[in-house]
Amino acid sequence: MNTNSQAGRNCVVLFLPFLLLPLAALPAFGVEQDILALTHTTVIDATGAPAQRDVTVVITGDRITRMGPSADLQPPTDAVVVDATGKFLIPGLWDMHVHWYEQDYLPLFIANGVTGVRIMWGMPVHHEWRKEIERGRLIGPHLFIASAIVDGPKPFWPGSITAGNADEGRQAVIKARQEGADFVKVYSLLPREAYFAIADEAKKQGIPFEGHVTIAVSAQKASAAGQKSIEHLTGVLQACSSREDYLLKSAQDALATFLTTPNEPAGIIPEMRQSSQVALETCNPLRADALFAEFKTNHTWQCPTLIVLHNIAFLDDPSLTKDARLKYMSRELRSSWDPARDFRFKNRTSEDVALGKKVYQKEFELVGAMQHAGVGILAGTDTGNPYCMPGFSLHDELGLLVQAGLTPMQALQSATLNAARFMEREKDLGTIEPGKLADLVLLNANPLADIGNTRKINAVVFDGRLYSRSALDGMLTRVETLASKMSLAEVLLKTIEAQGLEAAAKQYHELRAAQPEAYDFREEQLNNLGYQLIGMKRIKDAVAILKLNVEAYPQSANVYDSLGEAYLDNGDKEPAIENYEKSLQLDPRNGGAVEKLKQLKAH
């Protein structure tokens, strides 16, 4: 990703001879320079080689151009020179499993040294972000973007692309490629026929498929079919069981029953829990060894996301709700993490909780065994899910990987070199070498001595631009201020329930006029409220709220798309078409709107 464009960047004009800046004196914004030199640093290049002491790293534009002993390598005379004595330089980190949709919170990744993320449910907005980040107009990480989730005809998550047969599976792959996705994201409730059609078509189209192992297919079969990554260890514990055939048949029967009955997706969760119980009791080390050998042979990567598995298993741990980093999360997100408000967890029994902790411990052990067996491991968090926070949780994940049996270097590589190899971007990313993109993190302490030292960030270099500690702190302060604002959606929902829509609309205008800084008035607020009302079957109220959002943000393709969906749910075909067309005018890449218009105009 070449980002040499000067558009939208803060320029600092510097003069000869070169300017030597102590880190503490750097300005509180990204320094834009032609040449940057970090001197006297210890380089941990993530190749697996020993740390290199007293090194100078020269960056020209957005690339590392020279490296060598500081005694031998004199910085160019027109360079901005930073004395990094006593500091440790590592490659920029990648979080390889992220769900994130809040633009204003993207700086949290950079502030935590996370210079790239793999988006696991791609939407048009992510492609817009990528363009803006590449142009230097938006502070955020590099993005590797999935298709929308591809799931079965009764998907686990609303809004997924559905594929109930081979033809629909193939069309989902073709659609993903046409829309510019970097890979196809597969999910848990895909029927076998659709899954294997996706695998075959992905090979033909030259696009990877990654994600969950569908419950209808074994992990071995998924690996043999070419699934490039398995997320959250889905299917792995079952595949290590001496009763794998029984577990697979039970899952297939449960899926068949689910698809032919009016049950909601949550209805299949008890069957999945029972399967985990049997798999836990019958886990066989020899079967595990054979499975991991297949993963290694087939180059099937594992993104275990231990931090989200831990948080879900230990949702009853009060320390989660006392985490000081929650001050950077919006009120709505924090509220959504309450297990009583999440359909996946609200009906869990104490027995379910106890089982979940045992399953987590066994899966934790399997991660170390996979590393020792030579299986490729990727660091990912499932950010957006309970207590998984942008940037921060990647460091939690690295710590858990070390506890599971990886060395600090192996854990570091899971977020650097391995990520680059997985994405086939090793030419640009993953290590500190001349020719690579200048995505770097300068640390105050050695992460090979203690992986927790990746949190001790002194500065970040992203695409060649230097962000000092004061600049990173400024990012955190701005996000904290935003997160502290009162939730407009929550206030209006209470008014709708108590006094009706007309009172809520009046309240919206009054608050916007009188207290614009106290409440969060971003477009996401009314959009999220609209979808909440749709979920509550208050469709007419949802339409009215989303019309307010269109009035407030008339240049947003997303708000017209959402209003179109609400009209469609209300049975109003013509206004639905009108709003989808408007959304498409503003964002021609909105494949969802294209699909909806085809369906609407075909009837």
Residue 145's beta-bridge partner residues? 119
What is the residue-wise DSSP string for 423-453? TT-TTTSSS--TTSB--EEEESS-TTT-GGG
The residues facing 371 across adjacent strands are none
pLDDT at 23 exceeding the cut of 50: no
**How remote is the C-alpha of 585 from its chain's centroid?**
28
Average pLDDT over residues 531-553: 92
Residue 81: per-residue pLDDT: 95
Dist CA 307 CA 383 (whole Å): 9
- For residue 588, the model assigns a pLDDT of 87
SS3 annotation, 215-261: CCCCHHHHHHHCCCEEECCCCHHHHCECCHHHHHHHHHHHHHHHHCC
In sequence order, the 6+-apart residues with CB closer than 8 A to the CB of 337 are 386, 387
Is 348 strand, coil or helix? coil
Q: What is the pLDDT of residue 512?
A: 93
Q: What is the Cα–Cα distance from 592 to 568, expressed in whole angstroms?
A: 13
Percent of the chain beyond pLDDT 90? 79
Residue 1: pLDDT band with limits 50, 70, 90: very low
Nearest to 237 by CA among 221, 218, 250: 218
User: What is the structure's pLDDT at 254?
Assistant: 87
What per-residue confidence (pLDDT) applies to 32?
59
Least trusted range by pLDDT, from 253-267, 322-336, 490-504, 578-592 = 253-267
Q: Rounded to an integer, what distance in angstroms lies between the CA atom of residue 264 and that of residue 157?
A: 10
What integer is the mean pLDDT of 65-86? 96
Residue that wins the pLDDT comparison between 267 and 419: 419
Mean of pLDDT over the chain: 91
C-beta separation of 236 from 220 below 8 A: no
Condensed to tens digits (0 to 9), the pLDDT of residues 165-195 reads: 999 999 999 999 999 999 999 999 999 999 9
* DSSP code for 267: G
Cα(564)–Cα(404) distance, integer angstroms: 47
pLDDT at 12 over 50: no
Of the pLDDT bands very low, low, confident and very high (cuts 50, 70, 90), residue 344 is confident
Domains and CATH numbers, the chain: 486-602 (1.25.40.10)
* Model pLDDT, residue 332: 84
Q: pLDDT-based confidence at 14, cuts 50/70/90?
A: very low
pTM: 0.85
For residue 536, the model assigns a pLDDT of: 87
The CB-side HSE value for 234 (13 A sphere, CA atoms) comes to 22
Tell me how many degrees the CA angle 503-508-511 measures, rounded to the nearest 5. Answer: 120
b/e code 314-340 from CB counts within 10 Å (16+ = b): bbeeeeeeeeebbebbbbbbbeebeee
Q: Which residue has the higher pLDDT, 394 or 8?
A: 394
- Nearest alpha carbon to residue 29 among 434, 474, 464: 474
The band of 124, judged by pLDDT with boundaries at 50, 70 and 90, is confident
Instruction: With cut-offs at 50, 70 and 90, classify the pLDDT of residue 31.
Output: low
**How many Cβ atoms are within 10 Å of 343's Cβ, its own excluded?**
10
Which tokens hold the place of 594?
A: 């294209």
Q: State yes or no: pLDDT of 8 exceeds 60.
A: no
- The whole-angstrom separation of Cα 63 and Cα 11 is 18
- pLDDT tens, position by position, 452-466: 999 999 999 999 999
| Average confidence (pLDDT) over 350-371 | 95
How many Cα atoms are found within 13 Å in the side-chain-facing hemisphere of 586? 19
Instruction: Give the residue, 159 or 22, on which the prediction is more confident.
Output: 159
Residue 82 in this model has a pLDDT that exceeds 90: yes
The pLDDT of residue 531: 85
**What's the whole-number mean pLDDT along residues 493-508?**
95
Tell me what pLDDT residue 20 has. 44
Three-state SS string across 48-87, please? CCCCEEEEEEEEECCEEEEEEECCCCCCCCCCEEEECCCC
Mean pLDDT on 119-146: 94
- On the question of pLDDT at 354 being above 90, the answer is yes
Residue with tokens 């609309």: 505
CB atoms within 10 A of CB 182: 19
Residue 589 has pLDDT above 90, yes or no: no
- On whether the CB atoms of residues 46 and 88 are closer than 8 A, the answer is no
